[in-house]
């Protein structure tokens, strides 16, 4: 279902302050680089980012068939656009999912989403209700396929037992390795489902370390980068791509040169020992 090794994430689109032409240039360049998955969510930029993207691409409909649009639903919080929300919460009712999907379609200026994800699991989620709602959206041609984000292995298994899921978007980086050990990536390999990896550079902490572990990781990445004539972010990306679950890595930057640099990381082949050295530094101890 997921195309290529990278997705372009738009959660910072409002902050980037790009004009319409710059957004079009960004999308076209991403496509040229083989980045065709566009990752959105209804809440990004306090409900602004999908509108910004849709407005820019409104008169460039030829690009729609060249990309795979992903969006997410379920998170609710108070902001200027949603003053009715008094507390941050998750709403995975039929009404909420349909409203979110319809809003995303309208804001993105498209007739269908390639992939709709449940953004966060809720203690109150009813798998049967979610699955039935997803099926209705699929029958109406509004969504092609479905997935989840930030789900544990058991939560994924619960919903997947009602409707096929095509990804679990989870945090994975050289500083966040929980999914290697908690069964999340094992399960996805079992089902032949590719994960999507968000925050692959640990929120920028590989560049600006604050703790001893983060500084050690940066030093380790620098040492390995020197051997490969690469940058530390390229090594961090290559480390993720080497995992057999074949994660699709989400690039959060709207900088074209950063996109080019990141795509080149897929040409770096780390040795098994280099891969484990990074893991050792991240964990703070050698492999057991």
Active site members: 44
CA dist., res. 13 & res. 86, Å (int): 26
Sign of CA dihedral 134, 135, 136, 140: positive
Residue 13, C-beta contacts closer than 8 angstroms, at least 6 positions apart:
23, 44, 45, 48, 49, 52, 53, 254
Q: First CA to last CA across the chain, in angstroms? A: 35
| Residue 57 contacts residue 24 (beta carbons within 8 Å) | yes
Please tell me the distance from the alpha carbon of residue 24 to that of residue 93, in angstroms, as a whole number: 35
Alpha helices in 68-126 (DSSP H): 94-108
Nearest to 72 by CA among 53, 55, 48, 97: 97
Degrees, nearest 5: CA angle 260-24-109: 125
Q: What is the largest CA-CA distance in the chain?
A: 56
Print burial letters for 115-138: b (CB count within 10 Å at least 16), e (below 16): bbbbbbbbeebebeebbebbeebb
Alpha-carbon distance of 254 to 273, in angstroms, equals 33
Closest CA to 193 of 159, 225, 220: 159
188 with 168: CB under 8 angstroms?
yes
């Amino acid at each position: 279902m997921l195309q290529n090794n990278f997705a372009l994430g738009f959660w910072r689109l409002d902050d980037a302050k790009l004009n319409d032409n710059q957004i079009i240039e960004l999308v076209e360049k991403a496509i040229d680089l083989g980045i065709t998955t566009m990752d959105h969510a209804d809440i990004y930029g306090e409900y602004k980012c999908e509108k910004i993207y849709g407005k820019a691409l409104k008169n460039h409909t030829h690009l729609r068939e060249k990309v795979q649009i992903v969006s997410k639903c379920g998170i609710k919080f108070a902001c200027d656009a949603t003053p009715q929300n008094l507390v941050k919460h998750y709403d995975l009712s039929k009404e909420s999912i349909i409203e979110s999907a319809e809003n995303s379609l309208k804001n993105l200026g498209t007739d269908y989403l390639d992939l709709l994800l449940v953004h966060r699991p809720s203690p109150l989620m009813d798998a049967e209700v979610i699955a039935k709602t997803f099926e209705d959206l699929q029958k109406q041609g509004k969504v092609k396929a479905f997935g989840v984000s930030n789900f544990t292995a058991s939560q994924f298994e619960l919903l997947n037992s009602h409707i096929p899921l095509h990804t679990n978007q989870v945090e994975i980086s050289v500083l966040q390795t929980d999914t290697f050990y908690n069964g999340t990536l094992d399960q996805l390999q079992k089902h032949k489902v590719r994960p999507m990896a968000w925050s692959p550079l640990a929120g920028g902490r590989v560049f600006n370390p604050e703790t001893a572990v983060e500084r050690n990781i940066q030093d380790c990445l620098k040492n390995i980068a020197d051997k490969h004539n690469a940058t530390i972010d390229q090594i961090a990306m290559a480390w993720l791509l080497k995992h057999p679950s074949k994660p699709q890595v989400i690039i959060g930057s709207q900088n074209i040169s950063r996109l080019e640099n990141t795509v080149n990381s897929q040409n770096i082949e780390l040795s098994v020992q280099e891969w484990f050295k990074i893991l050792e530094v991240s964990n703070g101890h050698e492999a057991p």
